[in-house]
Amino acid sequence: MDINEILEYLPHRYPFLLVDRVLELEPNKRILALKNVTMNEPFFPGHFPHHPVMPGVLIVEAMAQAAALLSFKSMGVKPDENSVVYFAGIDNVRFKRPVVPGDQLLFDVEILQSKRNIYKYKGVARVGDQIATEAELMCALKTKP
């Protein structure tokens, strides 16, 4: 999936769209997506001015965006303006390596379980062959009233 197709499945836009491309997608199983981390990201001037590091919560958010892409593609539907994906839980998060400008983050997210509109995922974010972050995510797919 290129950025144009990603924009059809995610409501996020700049500066909060955190997935640039999908490299692999096996419906109902896993997704491999990437984000190119550049110095012009809006969070770097404040986090931190003399040692820019991507905030860990944004890495976890990017994993969740990849997970949402996997879920919508697995269901065979494109979300509309009434569709929303909420975090229901985040467990076992570990930050193993800082992510800095020039890094390319690879998000490998797999579905562990799905029941009705609740999905549980295992996500790993890597830079090269090094794990940067890993987490278990639980998300709920909802329709706005």
Give me the pLDDT at residue 1, please.
97
Q: Where are the domains of the chain?
A: 3-143
C-alpha to C-alpha distance for 66 and 10, rounded to whole angstroms: 9
Just list the catalytic residues: 47
The predicted-structure confidence for 116-130, as pLDDT tens digits, reads as follows 889 999 999 999 999
C-alpha to C-alpha distance for 7 and 110, rounded to whole angstroms: 21
User: Long-range contacts of range 52-57, CB-CB < 8 Å, 24 or more positions apart?
Assistant: 52/100, 52/101, 53/98, 53/99, 53/100, 54/98, 54/99, 54/100, 54/103, 54/105, 56/93, 56/95, 56/133
Give me the pLDDT at residue 84, please.
87
Q: H or E stretch including 6?
A: helix 3-9
The predicted-structure confidence for 94-119, as pLDDT tens digits, reads as follows 999 999 999 999 999 999 999 988 99
The predicted-structure confidence for 11-55, as pLDDT tens digits, reads as follows 999 999 999 999 999 999 999 999 999 999 999 999 999 999 999
Give me the pLDDT at residue 88, please.
95
Give me the pLDDT at residue 143, please.
87
pTM: 0.96
Question: 3-143: CATH homologous superfamily?
Answer: Hotdog Thioesterase (3.10.129.10)
